[in-house]
Structure 1
Amino acid sequence: MFAKPVLGRTTADTEGDVVVLLIGMRINHFWAVHQWLPVMLAMFRMLAELARDSDRGLLGRVLLTASPRTYYVVQYWESKDKLYAYAAAPDTLHHKVWGTVNGKERAGKVRGHVGIWHEAYVVPEGSYESVYGDMPAFGLAAAHGQVPVERRGRSARDRFAHRSDNPPG
């Protein structure tokens, strides 16, 4: 199913801080499928787990490929506390997978066949803006909703200046 574009210029209907997690993997040795395929499958299973339980706090995500070796997910979270809670909760797949990875590292069984990484950001209100032209909800707009650009300002300067406690007009 393909999302229909929303005609015209829109922006994300975001209020307050934005929590962004970039998380991914790099295949260092293509021939070591037994090492990197479980990591890739675990990534998809964790996303499915989060999709089944919206209370965990994942608002949206975009899967991306940086190269034939590097895959990552841009995730938008409700709060950094919800992100921390998911990462540490003993009932999640993340907890189980991370325990397995740490165990392999301690046992010297990790041989550099696959790299894993993440970067997390809390972006304060007034430090982000977005514009979409003839696009379905994507990225930040898919996570927080999409509104006509006029609701936040026609220029990037206006959208950066938008404050949830002081809406225009």
Structure 2
Amino acid sequence: MSAKVFPERVTADADGDVVVFLIGMRINSYRAVRDWLPVFRAMPKMLRELERDPSSGMLGSRFVLSGPRDFGLVQYWESREKLLAYAEDRDKEHRPAWAAFNRRARNSRGKVGIWHETYVVPAGAHESVYVGMPPHGLGAAYGVVPVGRRGDRAAQRLAHGAAVGA
């Protein structure tokens, strides 16, 4: 089933701070399947766990492929506190996957790499616009509203967010 395409200009209905978490892996040696396959398989388990639990704080995610050996996810979170709570929870998928990666990494000699970046974007420092698109990115995570509600220009939408967060 395809998502509804909004032919008009819409923007993400995101008030306040936005937490964006980027995470990925890089296969440095295709032949080292036993080193990179467990890393590759760990993320879908975490995503299923997070999607089943709306109280986890993950609002949405999107898979990105940035090259033949680079795989990643863009995730949107309710708050940095919820992201960190998930990362540290010993009863969730992340902690055992992280521990297993660290054990394997000592012996893999760089055959697989992982990375992550976390951005807490304050109110008034993010804006978005989508035309002829189904919900995407922030719009998929927070829902969308007509652009006019937040301003017709990017500068107006940024000022709207600053006024809301002030």
Shared fold per TM-score greater than 0.5:
yes
CA contact (8 A) 1:21 1:75 kept: yes
CA contact (8 A) 1:15 1:164 kept: no
**Residue of structure 1 equivalent to 2:46:** 46
Partners of 2:137 and 2:109 lie apart in 1 by 34
Partners of 1:99 and 1:36 lie apart in 2 by 14
Q: Deviations over 1:123-148 (max 9, x none)?
A: 00110100000111110011011111
Partners of 1:52 and 1:81 lie apart in 2 by 19
- Structure with higher helix content: 2
| Residues 1:24 and 1:166: Cα distance change in structure 2 (over 3 Å) | closer
Q: Give the residue type in structure 2 aligned to 1:28.
A: N
Partners of 2:90 and 2:73 lie apart in 1 by 22
Task: Identify unmatched segments of 5+ residues in structure 1.
Answer: none
Q: Deviations over 1:73-95 (max 9, x none)?
A: 00000000000000000101101
TM-score normalised by the chain length of structure 2: 0.95
State the Cα distance separating 1:20 from its structure 2 match: 0.4
| Residues 1:117 and 1:8: Cα distance change in structure 2 (over 3 Å) | same
| Residues 1:100 and 1:135: Cα distance change in structure 2 (over 3 Å) | same
Q: Deviations over 1:84-124 (max 9, x none)?
A: 0000001011011111122334xx32321110000001000
Partners of 1:100 and 1:65 lie apart in 2 by 24
Aligned residue pairs total: 165
CA contact (8 A) 2:15 2:164 kept: no
1:1-169 correspondence runs (5 A): 1-105=1-105, 108-163=106-161, 166=164
Partners of 1:103 and 1:41 lie apart in 2 by 16
Q: Secondary structure at the match of 1:134?
A: coil
| Residues 1:53 and 1:29: Cα distance change in structure 2 (over 3 Å) | same
Partners of 2:104 and 2:132 lie apart in 1 by 47
CA contact (8 A) 1:26 1:71 kept: yes
Partners of 2:161 and 2:102 lie apart in 1 by 42
The percent identity for this pair of structures is: 53
TM-score normalised by the chain length of structure 1: 0.93
- Aligned-pair Cα RMSD in Å: 1.5
Partners of 1:126 and 1:96 lie apart in 2 by 37
After TM superposition, the runs of 4+ consecutive aligned structure 1 residues lying more than 3 A away are: 163-167
Task: Identify unmatched segments of 5+ residues in structure 2.
Answer: none
Partners of 1:52 and 1:146 lie apart in 2 by 23
